Structures are given as structure tokens and as C-alpha cells.
Homo-oligomer: A and B are copies of this chain.
């Protein structure tokens, strides 16, 4: 019933502020003001305009608005398939948070974990206000972004040269919790199953594990590399667990591989977990809590991390000060049945606010 588009029935002619102005008998400026909070307009006029707008089904064009305000309300999000596999919820969470902040998420999927100058041009050409990158950006690319005034927040990555803000998970603290737990459970000889060689997240976790184990006087063998997948974990298990000198614990760089190792133990190698080997993961994906696995793992606080990332990018967009900070949120240790000792279901550590580095003082004050 009623109408919805003023004149032309076909052709999808956009309804513009002029159409609304004409119908309401006011100027185009008035229409514009009626849709901006805090604009100088009487409530009577605003009501009249909005009535007319509703009648025509008018919505201000973000594109036209962006052209003049120099703000697109678009936030670019960079991901690779690996990111989304390891953290299936990340896109939904980021999208949700960005939306809460009044913008929208424009997704850029990358084939390889690396943004070059072309990729940057691509981002720039879509006029994003800022970028959240769950991918690797070379330092010189970051410098270009800075030079162009494009705010970047790195997610689970960071810029050693401090050329971008970043949000991550404090693997060092996490690994200390884990090491303490394992030591208490009797671990003496642990192996580490890493992700792909050079994968930043995996390297970070490996380094953290090394440091934590060292400070607990436990040994950690040289890492074995797989590709983050369940299949690759399962495949790597026989090598890791050769009877000759089998480690008593396998620490994995992510959950998927850990679950693969557990499956290999039980179904391929006839080993009991944690009886013969303890297995740990990192991320706390949904499956880790399923009774078939009951994986002890470090829970990455995704909700907090994404919220923080969005918060930081929004602040940088409004601020654009060159101050940089790196925020590390604390993972929780979730103890389940794949390790010895502790009580199943124990959670050690409170996820959330963690370390903060950088020149800026408080974000959450």
C-alpha cells in the first residue's frame, strides 16, 4: 500500500535530499540538518522533514556524505584464511563491534599473509577510515600508512618498530600459567608442536613457551612444525611420539593441532591422554570443551580483543595522534582432562586487561 518511491516506478532512481525537500516544502539544507544530530534546526522542521523522508523511504547516502566529510564510516579488516580458521568467530565479532561503533566492516581477504603496496593502494582506494589487520604488514608499509594518515591496528601481531597500534594476547603470561600447571602435573620433558615456520602467532607462542619452561626448569625440545590444522597435528604425532624417547607432554601452538594430536594418540597410536602424554592447546575453540577431547588450553579472550581493537581504531580515527601503543590481553588457562593434575574445569587467570606498552596512558581509565 501507500507509496515508497516518489515518481519513477522503475529504474531505482535514488531518493535524494532534494526529493524530500520538495515534498516537505523546505530547502535541501534543512533535510541535511534533520539527519544530523546537533544541527541547528527546530524540532518542528525536523519532524516535518522526517515525515516526508519516511514517506519517500529516504535514507541519506553515506557515499555523498563521506565525500564531503572525509569520513567513510568504513573500517577495513584484513584476514587470511588461516586467521579465520584458527579463530572462526573473528569476523563476526569484529563486524559486530565495528557496527556498535557506528561504522561498518569492509573485509579484505588475502591469499598470503602479507600486504604489499598494491594492497595498500587497494585499501586507500576504498577510502576506509582505518584498518584492523589480522595479517602481517611490513614495516615500510606501515610507514606508508602513517604517512598517509591511515590508522592501523594490528591484531595478534605487532610492529617491532612501533609503527602501528596493536592488540594481542599475552602469550608470555599464558605460557607461565601453563608451565606451572604442567610442572605440577609432573611434566619433565615436553615437545612443542608449532604452526607454519615463520607464522607470527606461532613464533610468539613458541618463544613464550620457551621462556616459561626455562624459568620453571623444564626442558622443551626444539619445535616441530605443522600447518595449524587438525590433520597436520594428527600427522605430526607419530614423529613426535616415537617410542624411543617419547616426551611426556606436547604443547601445541593452537587447539586444532592439539586435537589432532589427541586423535592420533587414541586412534592411531594407542596412547592414553593424559596417561601416556599430556596435550595442551591454545585458543580455546569450542571443540576443546567437548567431552571427547577435554583439552587443557589457553583461552584467548576474543571478545575483549576484538572490542579493544575496534576501540583503538576508533580512537585513532578521531585522534590521529601519532602515539602508538601495544595492548596485550591476558589469556586464561582452562584446565581440562588432557593434562595431569588440577581439577577439570579449573580456570586460572582472569582474561581481559593485561599489559600495556606505549606512550599513551589510558584507554580504559
A residues lining the B interface (CB < 8 Å): 4-5, 9-12, 14, 57, 59-64, 66-67, 70, 72, 74, 79, 81, 84, 88-89, 91-92, 95-96, 99, 104-109, 121-122, 124-127, 144, 147-150, 230, 234, 259-260, 262-263, 266-268, 286-287, 290-293, 320
- Inter-chain contact A99/B109, CB cutoff 8 Å: yes
| Contact with A4, one of B79, B89, B147, B234 (Cβ below 8 angstroms) | B147
16 pairs of residues in contact across A and B, judged by CB atoms under 8 Å? A4-B147, A11-B149, A12-B320, A57-B144, A61-B127, A63-B72, A64-B67, A74-B106, A79-B92, A84-B92, A91-B91, A99-B109, A104-B126, A106-B106, A234-B291, A260-B290
Please name all residues of chain B whose beta carbon is closer than 8 Å to the beta carbon of A70 when the two chains form the complex: 14
The answer for the CA separation of A126 and B290 in the assembled complex, in Å, is 41
Please name all residues of chain B whose beta carbon is closer than 8 Å to the beta carbon of A126 when the two chains form the complex: 62, 104
- Inter-chain contact B96/A109, CB cutoff 8 Å: yes
Q: How far is the CB of A133 from chain B (nearest CB, A)?
A: 15
Q: Assembly of this chain: how many copies?
A: 2
Please name all residues of chain B whose beta carbon is closer than 8 Å to the beta carbon of A144 when the two chains form the complex: 4, 57
- In the complex, what residue of chain B is closest to A117 when comparing beta carbons? B57
A-B pairs with the 6 shortest C-beta distances? A12-B149, A88-B88, A59-B125, A95-B107, A267-B291, A292-B292
Besides the contacts A57-B121, A84-B88, A263-B292, what 11 more A-B pairs have beta carbons closer than 8 Å?
Answer: A12-B320, A60-B125, A61-B127, A62-B127, A91-B95, A92-B109, A96-B109, A104-B108, A104-B126, A267-B292, A268-B291
Q: How far is the CB of A313 from chain B (nearest CB, A)?
A: 15
- In the complex, what residue of chain B is closest to A262 when comparing beta carbons? B292
- Inter-chain contact B57/A286, CB cutoff 8 Å: no
The answer for the CA separation of A104 and B104 in the assembled complex, in Å, is 12
Please name all residues of chain B whose beta carbon is closer than 8 Å to the beta carbon of A67 when the two chains form the complex: 61, 63-64, 67
Please name all residues of chain B whose beta carbon is closer than 8 Å to the beta carbon of A62 when the two chains form the complex: 125-127
